[in-house]
Structure 1
Amino acid sequence: MKIPFYMKIFLAFVLFSSILFALFIFLFKDFYEKELILKQRDSIEKILSYKSNLIDEYTNEINEKLKALHKIIKSKNLKNNNEITRLFSLIMESNKDILSMKYLSLTGKEIARVDFKNEKLKIIESKSLQDSTSRSYFKDIRILKNNQIWYSSFDIYKQKGEIVKPLKYVLRVVLRVDNGFLMVLLDAKSLLFKIQNSYEDSLFVIDKDGYYLIKEEKKLSWSKYFDSNMTIQKDYETYFQDILEKNSVSSNSFVSKRVYLSSKEYIILLFNINELEKKNSLNSFENYVYTIFIVGIGITLLLSLLFAEPIAKLNRKTEQKNRALDMSIKKSSQELQESLNIINKHVIFLKLDKDGIILDVSKAFCEVSGFIKEELLGHHHKILMHPDMSDKKYEEVWSYLKQGKSYIAEFKSMKKDGGFYWVESYIEPVYDSNSNLVGYTSIRNNITDKKLIEYLYDDLNNQVLQYNAIFENANSGIGLIDLKGNFQKVNSMFTKLLGYSNEELLKSSCFDIIKKESKQLLAKIFKEANEIGFISNIEKIFIHKNGHFIHLELSLNLLPNKKSFVVVVSSLEDKRKLQELNQNLEQKIKQEVQKSRYKDKIHQEEQIKNIKLTSIGSLAAGITHEINTPLTYIKGNFEMMGYDIQDLPNSEIKNRMLEDSQKINEGLNRIANIVESMREISQSSSEIKEVTNIYSTLITALTMAYNRSKQVSRIYLNNKEFNIDSINKKEFEFFSKVQKQRVEQVWIVIINNALDELAKIDDYEKRALNIDIYEKNSHIYVEFKDNAGGIDESIIDTIFEPFVSSKEHSGIGVGLNISKRIIEQQNGQIKAYNKGSNAVFEVCLKAVLS
């Protein structure tokens, strides 16, 4: 006999209920306890979720305020410190939990800052603004993308590294904007205590390093600073690692949950489960468990009778639904295939093996790149990289992927026809069932248009910067005014010409800064400019801020929108100065022409003098030769005569003859020295440099100047007075490779110049010329030092330039210029300076071995 289905259900239900309730007394207590714990956890999780929502609402509110602030700054084009700090002050007056607001440049320098100190707002002056690049948070915020927001961790407010008391709990929030960063320092104390509200004994706030931020005992709060040993490791030794590393952790004694402020920054909320409450609930349950059991048995029988037939009907309906579900699955499978076809057509997709070989591409990828699928399969994906992409960037991406990490990057890719396109690529590793890396998938978004817009924006921004630079650095005052003459914008030169500040001008009009009687004429000029489009170069008298009148040249140009004029004012002082400069230039040209003619005349005279000197040199060479022959004859015979005198008997006549002979010998030696010096000077100047004793050249020059020097001043050579009667050219030897006659010419010029100055001193005994020659650091130094009062300071810097002379009645100022050129040709240096009241000429030549 076949038993109806509903009867089977009834009997099974009764049997199951009997077994269930037989086990109820033994098992339901544990079940209830676990259920109680689950309920407590659920309740705690709801509490934690609520607290988490509080933080989310708080951060969302801050985010919205920051973005709204950015929109205000951007819409009003606020750029200078005063405008931004004024806006900051308004916001902080209505938001008492804001401790500080900053505007940083992209380089980390503060553009504007307002602090809330001692219950007052303090606007930081420009000179006190700081550089934030050294701050620990700057390395995190400088990598932010535009409109991205960064949150710091909760911390105690510190100044110069010291904790400020009373304690303030702070939170930094930074918004990356177009040209910098907006930073807000918030007082987070109210938020933290709102989180712990009503649960002081159970709910704790912990930072990501395991230190307590808020604990039931106030002295244990902020344990990072006040008790570094007080961490969750001490209180939750078994679970502390899971608490720190996992988003949420549940146990029989607590529930913890991470709450993120941003992608990196978070806090941990930890809620302790109350053991006493759980025990009281279990004791109450035991009093009712047996009553529930009896009632349950009765209810089970009743329910079995009531639900047996409905369950049977439900079973029939279920079978019908199963058949309908099969049909639905088939239909869904078709729809899924259609969706895959849509993805293949519209999503840029690329699949690679672990070596980067292309395994599959979507139809959308082929359309963008210009390749067909068969041309790409089996090839390395590097064929898609554009040459502009550096190998370093490619290696960086690939090394990152080999670590099994996902990567998002922008790539410039190459089309089949050689063109390019930009993509934003999300690359993710693919693993097999054994967790082995087998390849990569890349989903790409075509951002070519976005990149082109970025390039256009950058170019436009550069042009704006260029125009602003031209505007601010123009030599004329430039401004923008409306049709009624009210200033809308002015450059720095405009304010400089009139003496007003930028703010003062923007609050006034053109009619406020001109003479009263000129206002009607200026209104007429505005009207004409509005009709014809421009007015140029009209001289007007403006009133400077200090009250005096200034003459400026005014030009007006109507802008295409016919709502504003560009006004340009130029100082007429520049025109007057230009006229004076032109006059001075004409006068200077006349002087230079006159000077040039004088130089030509002097040059001709010098040429004539050189011809004469050449003739004199030739004559001197002949004379020295003619004198030298009889002089040799006389010296030889005089020497023989000396021997004869020595043979005479001693007498007064012999002694007198010996004395006369000595004087005659000194005269002959003097004649010989003069002839020798004339011979050396008169020799043709050789352009070939040779190793020469510089001391010997000084002796030759002093000999040539001796006839004059003995009448003007004593000359000391290496602290020894020069005497033509006792000459030894080899007494000192300082060798250098030079042109001998040219160097001697330099010595003669310097000696004669010194004698000219010394001659101005009345007392002969007070005149002195000291010449010192010495060697130092492989160089020979020759110093000429006279005590004639020194070189005139007005010419000391230009004394070696042509036509510069201190002589009043003679000299054309070319001797020292020629001397300087000669010394430089010998690879030496010459310089002049004053040492006390002494004029010093110092010549330096390179020393060589003899």
Structure 2
Amino acid sequence: MNLEFQSRSEEICAEAVEMPEESNDLLVNQNCLRAYGRAIAERNYTDAQLRKTLKELAEFKFALDESAIVVITDAKGIIRYANDKFCEISQYKREELIGKTHRLISSGYHSRDFFEDFWQSIQAGKVWKGEIKNKAKDGSYYWVNTTVVPFVNESGKPYQYLAIRFDITERKRAEEALQRSGLRARQQAEQLEAAMEKLKQTQAQLVQTEKMSGLGQLVAGVAHEINNPVSFIYGNLVHTREYIENLLHTINLYQRHYPNPLPEIKTALEDMELDFLREDLPKILESMEFGAERIREIVRSLQNFSRQQESQMKSVDIHEGIDSTLLILQNRLLSQRDRREIAILKDYGDLPPVQCYASQLNQVFLNILCNAIDALEEPALEDKKEPGAIAIRTELSPEGSAAGCDSACCLGLTEGNFVVISISDNGSGIPESARGRLFDPFFTTKPVGKGMGLGLAIAHQIVVQQHQGHLECISQLGRGTTFLISIPVSQQREKVKQ
């Protein structure tokens, strides 16, 4: 019997013997027995509660050791206890850790001020929480979410520290990769902006060029210089989108399997505005892709304007080229919020296969049809009752009777028949003052940002220089515009000498 139990029993017995004098010895003995019984019952209850508490503490320790990295240090930071998870993540044996400080696993990532603030906080008896990057024995790095709890004595001074940590390496890697992707996206956006600025400067330089003979060579050089960085950026956008989607998928998996993160993790996610990043990154990529594609279109236009891209001519069905171009423009022909659907009226003649550069002629059709659609979308036509329509007519004409073709403009045309394609719209027409400049490079009647002024210039060069044909515009204000394209059915490689 221990002293505490004996002392308590004597107290109870003393209470029992303090009875009136008339009480007999038997009554005293009974009271003493009852007192001993109560003492034994209290002791048994106390022992049971103690065993229960010790069992719960052991279970808590087991659960903590299984789920967290646990370290206990003395007041000087010397490690006195390290659980298996700490040994596992640090790759050190327990005997290599005991008696050492955390300098053993220092990564050198954090500043001296970081650890000074850390020590000032825990030495003042305050709980410290934060994220620390450590270095394992093999030289690899890992991140832990750390909570350090000081144990203080009667005077309020810490005598040991309990550190509870959780491995957050994968999440930190995902965040760092996401940040790197965002940085690359911003850098590429800056490169796109610089490329656009360079393109604008190039355009200004081209406008000032006086001699058309040197314009093609200049434009070709500019297109080549711009095409290289834009191709690099455009090609990397696909990989950037894939990387970001993979990173976001990884984070989604993490959140799905760990739906209730620690408050520190939740706060970190809120600080980085993860939901905003999920929503904004795809928009940034879309705007970059749009800008890159726009630059590529401009470069292709410049290249088409400056040089021939096809190696040889082929005999093709002109109607197939027109139909494929209309298919590309189908979405633009559909009804819009402020106008009805644009009707396409076809009147195809019986044409033989035409020897030409098919893709270049398709671009001619595309440029002229786009201009016709733009003309039918002008605000001045909003009150027009007649629906917008584009009429396309083809015919075969003998030499010399091609529409708009005279002896001066048809030098270089081969003997034989011509194919004539007319594309007409019922828009508002083109002012007479602008008709004489329609085929000049960079001349446009459209608002700023609507067009570059290269479409008709490229079309003119393709028809006249590449196919020895003729391109003419006939327009009346209030009645619409017609473009007449005349090209020979077969080409003669040697031009008629003037």
Task: Tell me the TM-score normalized by structure 1.
Answer: 0.22
Task: Tell me the TM-score normalized by structure 2.
Answer: 0.35
Comparing both structures, which one devotes a greater share of its residues to strand?
A: 1
